């Protein structure tokens, strides 16, 4: 059962463009939504995260938009750069429960930014 | 990689052989996790630990076992490796509190022939 669905599977954008990756979740108990960035040969690293008490969070060129009623959240990368080329994963967890910090991940999006 | 090492980094083995992967942390985090990463599936949780000798199953635990005898070490064992267990395995650590942020190790690429 895939509780977090991510799209698209791959994305190609030009340098300076906006990259948008979308995720949808099913479990209404989820209350923490991080995004991870992974470069080839490396482990995933936390990029940015949001909780459902806000609808948007921005850190530099990266923004998470959150729609609680639709159970969707998305990552926007403004002014995309070739160095942003990586695989991006959305994830979700239930911080308030007894989930022991377990994260449920989306399937991943391979982002390629052309110079 | 936040004080996390995994060994070995690469391994090729044959079907039916036992394999043990090691995760070692220097952060003294209470929580440790094993994931596998496969194309089209993202990262899927195999097993996790919430303390020494305290472990539980994740989403894809069949064919895997774990042990944690010390805070810093979390072992993943494939009792009898199968080709379907060819994957990249990641260990992660976390400490609950304000967030459920997890920090990942560099991964182990396992090929089962």
Q: What is the pLDDT of residues B32-78, one digit of tens each?
A: 999 999 988 899 999 999 889 999 999 999 999 999 999 999 999 99
pLDDT of res. A99 = 67
Bridge-based pairing of strands A109-114 and A86-92 is antiparallel
| Mutate: best of A101, A106, A108, A109, partner B, most B CBs <10 A | A101
pLDDT of res. A113 = 97
Cβ within 8 Å of residue B29, ≥6 positions away: B93, B94, B95, B103
Question: Computed over its alpha carbons, how large is the radius of gyration of chain B?
Answer: 13
Question: 3-state DSSP helix/strand/coil percent for chain B, to nearest 5?
Answer: 5, 60, 40
Residue B25 has pLDDT above 80, yes or no: yes
Name chain B contacts of A104, Cβ cutoff 8 Å: 45
Instruction: Please state the length of chain A.
Output: 115
- For chain A, residues with pLDDT lower than 50 are none
CB contact under 8 A, A100 and B56: yes
pLDDT of res. B33 = 94
Residue B1 has pLDDT above 60, yes or no: no
Q: Does the beta carbon of B99 lie under 8 angstroms from any beta carbon of chain A?
A: yes
Rounded percentage of chain B residues whose pLDDT exceeds 90 = 81
pLDDT of res. A45 = 94
Cβ(B31)–Cβ(B94) below 8 Å: yes
Cβ(A27)–Cβ(A91) below 8 Å: no
pLDDT band for position B98 (cuts 50, 70, 90): low
């Amino acid at each position: 059962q895939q509780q977090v669905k991510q799209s698209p599977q791959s994305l190609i954008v030009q340098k300076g463009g906006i990259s948008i990756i979308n995720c949808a979740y099913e479990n209404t108990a989820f209350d923490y939504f991080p995004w991870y960035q992974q470069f080839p040969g490396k482990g995933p690293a936390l990029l940015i995260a949001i909780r459902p008490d806000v609808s948007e969070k921005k850190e530099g060129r990266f923004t998470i938009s959150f729609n609680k009623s639709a159970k969707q959240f998305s990552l926007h990368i403004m002014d995309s750069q070739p160095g942003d080329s990586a695989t991006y994963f959305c994830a979700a967890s239930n911080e308030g429960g007894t989930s022991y910090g377990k994260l449920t991940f989306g399937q991943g999006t391979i982002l390629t930014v052309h110079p | 990689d936040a004080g996390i090492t995994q060994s070995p980094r690469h391994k090729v083995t044959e079907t039916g052989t036992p394999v043990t992967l090691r995760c070692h942390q220097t952060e003294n985090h209470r929580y440790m996790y094993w994931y596998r990463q496969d194309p089209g599936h993202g990262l899927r949780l195999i097993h996790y630990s919430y303390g020494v000798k305290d472990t539980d199953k994740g989403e894809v635990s069949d064919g895997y076992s774990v042990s944690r005898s010390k805070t810093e070490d979390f072992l993943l064992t494939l009792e009898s490796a199968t080709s379907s267990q060819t994957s990249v395995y990641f260990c992660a650590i976390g400490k609950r509190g304000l967030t459920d942020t997890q920090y990942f190790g560099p991964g182990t690429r396992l090929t089962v022939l």
